[in-house]
Structure 1
Amino acid sequence: MSGSGIYAISTLINSSIPFLLLPILTRHLTPEEYGVVAVFQVWCSLLGVFCGLNTYGAATRKYYDYDEPERYMGDYVAACVAIMIISSIILTVIMLQLVDPLLKILGLPREWLFAGILVGIGNFLVQLRLRQWQVRKEPMKYGQFQISQSAFNAGLSLLLVLTVSLGVDGRLVGITSSMLLFGVLGAILLWRDKLLTLSWKPELIKDALTFSVPLLPHFIGGFLLLTVDRAVISSILGLEAAGHYMVAAQLALALNLLLQSIHKAYVPWLFERLKQDNCEEKKHIIKISYLYFLGLVIIALFAFIFGKPALIFIAGVEYAPAGDVIGWLVLAQTILGMYFVVSSYLIYAKKTQQISKITILSGAINIVLLLTLLEPYGLAGAAWAMCVGTTVQFLATWFLASRAIAMPWSLKRIIFG
């Protein structure tokens, strides 16, 4: 099996573990408790953007700049870890000053508010370790580490929720402990492989920040578009509503995982053919793209028809209100699947700054609509807001992609030549 195939399969297995947990946890946690889990994960996602400032991406890119990466990467990884430590301390200080309003807005217990920092630290170290395996083309180690972490998370959560009867705290302990433990393990493995040194080089810290800070708008935009809705729902409609929405969102996410795996396999195929710059080949690419779009539309229609009974069967009747939005959330994921296709052209053309701008715009639109529609229309308003946000992201990206690379997008040209 090729390296890309191993990465795709390991990512799919890793991401499907929380989905497999769903029918078990929903029968042992109330919707309100599930809402607490949802808000905690949103909080961890937000902190993850700022804890280390995603400089593990800078370490990934820097590998290709060195003629002898094994000789120099240890100092660069150390610079990234230094940024993570400093940013985590700053985040903690800020949170100490804002703890009361944060507790009021999020509705999380104080200890779990600060546990989010530990999850951010662990996630940073895990990503740093995984990316260094990836650039060295070691997919088996990558997959084993990734899947082991998720399996430990799931196993510990089930043990604490089902056997020890800790309820929602058991699930949060599973998330936090697994991320922190594997983060520490990742750091140890980096040290063992001489990819982490005890060094302080300000010029490397500056280099890592120069690469990573301009990308923050993209990550923030993605957070606003795809994640923040659960926290807003909790704040306005309560934790029970957030729990219902989280279940629907997790089921819709199963489609997203499949689409991401398809996208990972599609991109190398696409780039190889774009490089040939052949007119007939380009027509073939667009035909496949339109057939793919049609397939995604059909999937969305099926979700509107069969989504609610399927959700009740999987999660239980207590989560039936989530069935009212599952169709819309699946539609949003199918639109994202179309976005993955057209965004590939901007990546090929090295127009990544345009992607960041579109993501910020789409996220802002989602937030405005979310705050406008949530109270009068409930969970459906949140799902509609996401659909509009992802549609804007898709159409704007498609427009810019059509200008970046000439492709025969016209249906008339495809059908009649």
Structure 2
Amino acid sequence: MTHQIIQRLGQSKLLRGFSIYFGTSILNRALPFFLLPVLTRYLSPTEYGLLALYQAMIAFVVPFVGMLMQNNITRNFFRQSHEYLARLIFNLLLILLTTSTVFLLIVSTYILFGGELFSIPERWIYVLPLLAMMNTSNEFNLTIFRNQQRPFTFGIYEVSKTTLDLAVTLVLVVVYLQGWEGRASGILVASVALGLVGLIRLWKDNLLLFKVDTSQIREILSISLPLIPHAIGSAVITLSDRLFIERMVGTDAVGIYAIGYQFGMIMTLFVIAFNRSWSPWLYQQLANVTESKKSRIVKATYTYAALVLVLATGITFVSYLLVPLMTTKPFYGASSFVGWVAFGYAFHGMYTMVFPYLVHIGKTSFLGFITFFAAGINLAANYILIRLNGTVGAAQATLLSYVLMFICVWWYSHRIFPMPWFHWRLKAERGQS
């Protein structure tokens, strides 16, 4: 049966798109991955810890400012006119500019009253809203490429950003010895440059119609505002492990943990690549869903779940060979975190398979509730497990949170949008008879 499922998928646009996205994802992720020997040579564990904390802060700010608004593009792409989409994208950018400005005011007020974030210099805190705005703008472009089924263009755009990022990083870290701030500068330059290129591309492709549409703004906010707790909860899960390690163990431990986390995130090569092909395909199926389509979706989901669990197991064992080969001696302990992180992202990948059902029917408020709940569990689990098990407790808390998110969202999505999870074989047999 599994062979038949894979054979059918092989004849579909889903797998062809996945193959291209997966190749692009490997190249895009491999470039910074092979930068590890350089960074671990030029940065101490403490400096790498500061870099990891700053990257976690970016991960927190981006969903808060962007509110996952790119989902509005995919949601409307297959059922609205080109003019409607052009007007929608302009209003998305208008909201994005507003949220970025609000966040800048919040950050400025915090710093004005003497606030401090993990010994990160103030200038880098002020840069966060700009990074969030440009990264979200990039996501708008990447979402359009996916829905237009242009994976090669998608790959060129994304790999160009990574290449520029790493080129600036190498010059500033290796030649000018700017430490972790040289790496942060690479992220900033690449995000701004590709963000501006993306805006120009939207204009040239007639995907920017400068017309304020209050009805569209209300619709965008009705979908995206309930996702703010979801986005904040996800960001808390991303940020809290490093925060607890920094406070309870030390900044150098954050650096070692971040290396292990990066190896564990090899899983995202597969997860992100498949989701980029899966998401537009799934929304297209749901736009005119039938029982046979539901059966096909469920079979693909089960096949995917089995594959990511096998892949996580492989990553865990291989990491014990790769970590000593690709890092310096102070970072060898990172291998103990890889398995927990890899399985965590395997379950996060399963979560992304069921998340679109709620977006499709506009029931996103539950996502905010469950992600906020999972974030609360994550905070408690980090504190308890780090006290009990040391730094590895943070990775265990991450896995626990993603398992909880997947189970809860799968249960709720099935409740309000029933899928044949337990009897898809019967439906398939009826369809063949």
Q: TM-score, normalised by structure 2?
A: 0.80
Partner Cα distance (1:353, 1:86) in 2: 22
* Deviation digits for residues 110-161 of structure 1 (CA, Å, limit 9, x no counterpart): 1111111221121122112222333333332222111111111111111211
**Residues 1:127 and 2:139 aligned together:** yes
Report how far residue 280 of structure 1 moved.
10
Partner Cα distance (1:285, 1:191) in 2: 37
1:170 pairs, out of 162, 170, 182, with 182
2:33 pairs, out of 16, 19, 24, with 19
Partner Cα distance (1:172, 1:196) in 2: 31
Quick one: structure 1 residues 408 and 324, their matched pair in 2 at CA, closer, same or farther if it must change by over 3 Å? same
Residue matched to 1:209: 221
1:295 pairs, out of 286, 307, 310, with 310
Partner Cα distance (2:66, 2:297) in 1: 41
Report how far residue 253 of structure 1 moved.
0.1
Partner Cα distance (2:297, 2:155) in 1: 34
Residue matched to 1:190: 202
Quick one: structure 1 residues 104 and 344, their matched pair in 2 at CA, closer, same or farther if it must change by over 3 Å? closer
* Deviation digits for residues 71-102 of structure 1 (CA, Å, limit 9, x no counterpart): 34333222222112221111111111112688
**Counterpart contact for 2:74–2:147, Cα < 8 Å:** yes
Partner Cα distance (1:94, 1:350) in 2: 30
| SS of structure 1 residue aligned to 2:149 | coil
Partner Cα distance (2:249, 2:59) in 1: 21
| SS of structure 2 residue aligned to 1:51 | helix
Report how far residue 175 of structure 1 moved.
0.5
Partner Cα distance (2:284, 2:75) in 1: 19
Partner Cα distance (2:213, 2:285) in 1: 39
**Residues 1:313 and 2:290 aligned together:** no
**Counterpart contact for 1:282–1:407, Cα < 8 Å:** no
Quick one: structure 1 residues 96 and 348, their matched pair in 2 at CA, closer, same or farther if it must change by over 3 Å? closer
Paired residues, what number? Answer: 405
Residue matched to 1:181: 193
1:389 pairs, out of 392, 401, 405, with 401
Partner Cα distance (2:283, 2:212) in 1: 42
Residue matched to 1:247: 259
Q: Which runs of 5+ in 1 are unaligned?
A: 411-417
**Counterpart contact for 1:105–1:235, Cα < 8 Å:** no
Report how far residue 45 of structure 1 moved.
1.5
**Residues 1:85 and 2:100 aligned together:** no
Report how far residue 166 of structure 1 moved.
1.7
Residue matched to 2:71: 57
**Residues 1:327 and 2:339 aligned together:** yes
**Counterpart contact for 2:298–2:420, Cα < 8 Å:** no
| SS of structure 2 residue aligned to 1:137 | coil
**Counterpart contact for 1:329–1:383, Cα < 8 Å:** yes
Deviates more, 1:140-149 or 1:383-392: 383-392
Partner Cα distance (1:238, 1:109) in 2: 18
Report how far residue 402 of structure 1 moved.
6.5
* Deviation digits for residues 26-48 of structure 1 (CA, Å, limit 9, x no counterpart): 12111111111111111112211
Residue matched to 2:50: 36
Q: Where does 1:202-281 land on structure 2 (aligned, <5 Å)?
A: 202-262=214-274, 275-277=290-292
**Counterpart contact for 1:233–1:241, Cα < 8 Å:** yes
Cα-Cα RMSD: 3.5
Q: TM-score, normalised by structure 1?
A: 0.83
Residue matched to 2:7: none
Partner Cα distance (1:126, 1:322) in 2: 32
Partner Cα distance (1:190, 1:228) in 2: 36
Residue matched to 1:358: 370
Partner Cα distance (1:400, 1:407) in 2: 13
Q: Which runs of 5+ in 2 are unaligned?
A: 1-12, 425-433
Partner Cα distance (2:133, 2:312) in 1: 39
Quick one: structure 1 residues 358 and 15, their matched pair in 2 at CA, closer, same or farther if it must change by over 3 Å? farther
Q: Where does 1:133-172 land on structure 2 (aligned, <5 Å)?
A: 133-172=145-184
Partner Cα distance (1:402, 1:368) in 2: 28
**Counterpart contact for 1:126–1:186, Cα < 8 Å:** yes
| SS of structure 2 residue aligned to 1:104 | coil
Partner Cα distance (2:351, 2:411) in 1: 11
Quick one: structure 1 residues 73 and 24, their matched pair in 2 at CA, closer, same or farther if it must change by over 3 Å? same
Partner Cα distance (1:327, 1:340) in 2: 20
Report how far residue 238 of structure 1 moved.
3.0
Residue identity over aligned pairs, in percent, reads 23
1:45 pairs, out of 47, 59, 63, with 59
- Residue type of the partner of 1:123? N
Partner Cα distance (1:226, 1:160) in 2: 27
Partner Cα distance (1:173, 1:290) in 2: 37
